[in-house]
Amino acid sequence: MEKIPNRGPALIVYYHGAIPIDYYYFLAHVIIQKGRTCHSVADHFLFKIPGFKLLLEVFSVIHGPQEECVRALRNGHLLGISPGGVREAMFSDETYRLFWGKRKGFAQVAIDCQVPIIPMFTQNLREGFRSLGTLSK
């Protein structure tokens, strides 16, 4: 929390556990401690769930093309992104393997906007909820 600026943009990059409850608590903590919201990037499939799109918009969730991420940061917002996303949530295991693949757009967004990158990791997050298992190589 001490790295989160009181104002201005920053990119928070976090590990996506099976249920990212740590990130939800982080979002609440930012509101309480810093008095600001953090925009979040979510998988596009969430926006297709009937009735869910409005809820996502209320909580400043975007579906994450680079242009939209750049716009959020240039407007001075905090932006949280988990490059591993749903694949990481479902297939990582107790070794906390990252599933970023070729997802490096978040780094280009940070370069384009010249914002700080704040990594976030919660120890033992995977042990709280078990998932399906690992992907074979």
> What total number of domains does the chain contain?
1
Q: Is 61 helix (H, G, I), strand (E, B) or coil?
A: strand
Q: Is 39 helix (H, G, I), strand (E, B) or coil?
A: strand
- Is 57 within a domain? yes
Give the active site residue among 16, 29, 63, 77: 16
- Is 30 within a domain? yes
- Is 132 within a domain? no
- Is 68 within a domain? yes
- Is 46 within a domain? yes
44 has catalytic annotation: no
Q: Is the dihedral of CA 59, 43, 5, 29 positive or negative?
A: positive
Angle subtended at Cα 106 by Cα 57 and Cα 123, rounded to the nearest 5 degrees: 85
Domain membership of residue 25 as a residue range: 10-121
CATH of the domain at 75: 3.40.50
Per-residue pLDDT of the chain (137 residues; tens, 9 = 90+): 999 999 999 999 999 988 888 999 999 999 999 999 999 999 988 899 998 989 999 999 999 889 999 999 999 999 999 998 888 888 887 788 888 888 788 889 989 999 999 999 988 887 776 555 555 55
Backbone torsions φ then ψ of 81, nearest 5 degrees? -145, 140
